[in-house]
Amino acid sequence: DIQMTQSPSSLSASVGDRVTITCRASQSITSYLSWIQQKPGRAPKLLIYAASRLESGVPSRFSASGSGTDFTLTISSLQPEDFATYYCQQSYNAPYTFGQGTKLEIK
């Protein structure tokens, strides 16, 4: 199975900050990576697919890059509604594993 490792596991930041979350795959997954946001008690929401493509309706302050084994999600200027948990997921080989999550909290 492909292991997905996110860092950091948690992050405290302020409104207006720029934050970056990283995701590393245990083997190359080319660009078969998604970034997903989840707020407490809510269903997950797709932010990014194909490693860098912004899902329709997602604010442009979200961006992502990477290929192969190393990927990043960047939020350029944090807004209050961005405080949530973020997951990466590989869709290269089953089982389609998720990272352990990065909890973004208000400082």
Partner 1 sequence: QVQLVESGGGVVQPGRSLRLSCAASGFSFSSYGMHWVRQAPGKGLEWVSVISNDANNENYVDSVKGRFTMSRDNSKNTLYLQMNSLTLEDTGVYYCAKDRFPYTNSHLGYYYGVDVWGQGTTVTVSS
Summarize as ranges the residues that interact with partner 1 (CB under 8 A): 1, 32-34, 36, 38, 43-46, 49-50, 53, 55, 87, 89, 91-101
Return the closest-CA partner of residue 99 out of 13, 49, 32, 36: 36
Between residues 17 and 96, which has the closer beta carbon with respect to partner 1?
96
ω into 44 cis (within 30 of 0): no
For residues 80 and 67, the answer to whether their CB atoms sit within 8 Å is no
Q: Whole-number minimum distance, CB 87 to partner 1, in Å? A: 6
Nearer to partner 1, 25 or 89 (CB): 89
CB of 38 to partner 1, least distance (A): 7
In the bound state with partner 1, the residue whose beta carbon lies nearer, of 17 and 101, is 101
Q: Which is nearer to partner 1, 44 or 68 (CB)?
A: 44
CB-CB contact of 99 with 4 (8 Å)? yes
Smallest separation, CB 29 to partner 1 (Å): 9
Length of the chain, in residues: 107
- Residue 57 vs residues 45, 54, 98: alpha-carbon distances, Å: 11, 8, 23
Report in angstroms how near the CB of residue 1 gets to partner 1 at its nearest: 8
